[in-house]
Structure 1
Amino acid sequence: MTLLISNIPCWLIPVLVGVISAILGYFLGRLLGGGEKLTETTANVDVYKNRISKLEADLEACKANKKSTFTGGNSSIATPEVSSLATAPTGVAFDKAAAKAAFGKNIKQDDLTVVEGIGPKIKELFHNHEVTTWAGLADCSIEKCQEVLKSGGKRFEIHKPGTWPEQAKLAASGQWQKLKEWQDNLDGGK
């Protein structure tokens, strides 16, 4: 037995130990997963929990509205109440041509991404909080905007919504040229 061990070169044992350790480390790392993925998954879970609780509240409100809509055994339907998601009356109809003339691209009515600093993900956060129109965003306080951003997690808290309600007010009132000129001077919505 000692003859067999003495024939192995002395450098081969550390190399074998290193290779075996590397393989074990690789498989343990794959098995236990990375910490960054876990944090991202936890943030996504929180967003989905918020969505679920909001949807459950909407469902309960809908059920309550459905019960109050029907009168006794009679199946006549009462006048439905105006949804909070409807466009608030601004006295100005949406002029797609004027918006395109100012921005040089097609603008969809009540597209919150027209506001400098709001992208598709932030727009989704506002939609989750029932802010789906320019008029709705114009009625939001800056504190409400910050709450909406906080609901999305750490990566959204860095945004500064200080001008968003005012920008939305200009969009809702159809003041496209004034909005475009203002946005040209803004830096990411600030």
Structure 2
Amino acid sequence: MDFSNIACWIWPLIAGVICGILGYYLRKWTSKENEQQITVDTHDYKADLEDCKRKTASLQADLDACTRKTASLEADLASSESQLNLAKKAPLAATSTASIASSFAAGAATSETVIQNTNTSVPSPSIGIIGVPFDAAAAKGVYGKKRIKEDDLTIVEGIGPKISELFHNHDIKTWAALASTSVEKCQEVLNSGGKRFEIHRPGTWPMQAEMAALGKWAELKKWQDEHDYGKA
């Protein structure tokens, strides 16, 4: 046997086996190192993602706060514009003081006439004003399709369902009762409902209520068509 020939191929074989083993362990070590690096990178990415989520939540909270602040400013602006409109109407109201006073005087005179000449007039639970029996047909004849209910305070220009409810809560439930209520008391009733009711001006409400209590539908409708002092 020629051992020199064996040596020629055995040593490369041994060297190949050794290189294979070293390559296997090198790949395994490199793979483990890469896996660890990927784990570290994944953890960093998750931390960054959580940080972004927290920042997003903080920005959303700031946005919501800005939205609420904007809504509050818009409400304040609307209130200021309403008060400005009232201020612009003030000169007109001043020039019509004599007209309003004469309406009150005419109402008082008519009230005395009704008391003296109408046997069917009935006393109201409130003091100062005596109403006449409610005539739904007469009211409908003046207001047309609008159905008028007895002692419905919303017939008074400037009074809506919410304000009517405020007066009911203060035991002012009839036209006669409202007619006997001072303007100062009307304002107190409005103030009890909060700021959104304070802008209303009740200066003519008792006068309008007196016309309704006395059944003076034509006069009341005419006055309301010519004035808007009851509105905010």
1:103 aligned residue (140, 143, 147): 143
CA contact (8 A) 2:124 2:177 kept: no
2: distance between equivalents of 1:13 and 1:110? 70
Provide the aligned length of Structure 1 versus Structure 2.
Answer: 137
Secondary structure of the 1:125 match is helix
- What residue identity is the alignment partner of 2:136? K
- What residue identity is the alignment partner of 1:98? A
CA contact (8 A) 2:180 2:206 kept: yes
Match of 1:116 in 2: 157
Match of 1:62 in 2: none
Say which structure is richer in helix. 2
2: distance between equivalents of 1:101 and 1:11? 79
Match of 1:7 in 2: 41
- Is residue 184 of structure 1 aligned with residue 184 of structure 2? no
- How far apart are 1:12 and its partner, in Å? 7.2
- What residue identity is the alignment partner of 1:111? D
**Cα separation, partners in 2 of 1:7 and 1:126, compared to 1, 3 Å:** same
| TM-score relative to the length of structure 2 | 0.50
| TM-score relative to the length of structure 1 | 0.60
- What residue identity is the alignment partner of 1:110? D
Structure 2 alignment gaps of length 5 or more = 1-34, 62-67, 72-122
- Is residue 144 of structure 1 aligned with residue 151 of structure 2? no
Match of 1:18 in 2: 52
Find the structure with the greater CA-based Rg.
2
CA contact (8 A) 1:160 1:189 kept: yes
CA contact (8 A) 1:84 1:130 kept: no
CA contact (8 A) 1:138 1:166 kept: yes
Higher RCO (CA 8 Å, separation ≥ 6 residues): 1
**Cα separation, partners in 2 of 1:125 and 1:7, compared to 1, 3 Å:** same
2: distance between equivalents of 1:6 and 1:114? 77
**Cα separation, partners in 2 of 1:17 and 1:109, compared to 1, 3 Å:** same
- How far apart are 1:151 and its partner, in Å? 0.8
- How far apart are 1:21 and its partner, in Å? 4.4
2: distance between equivalents of 1:116 and 1:101? 18
Structure 1 alignment gaps of length 5 or more = 28-33, 37-81
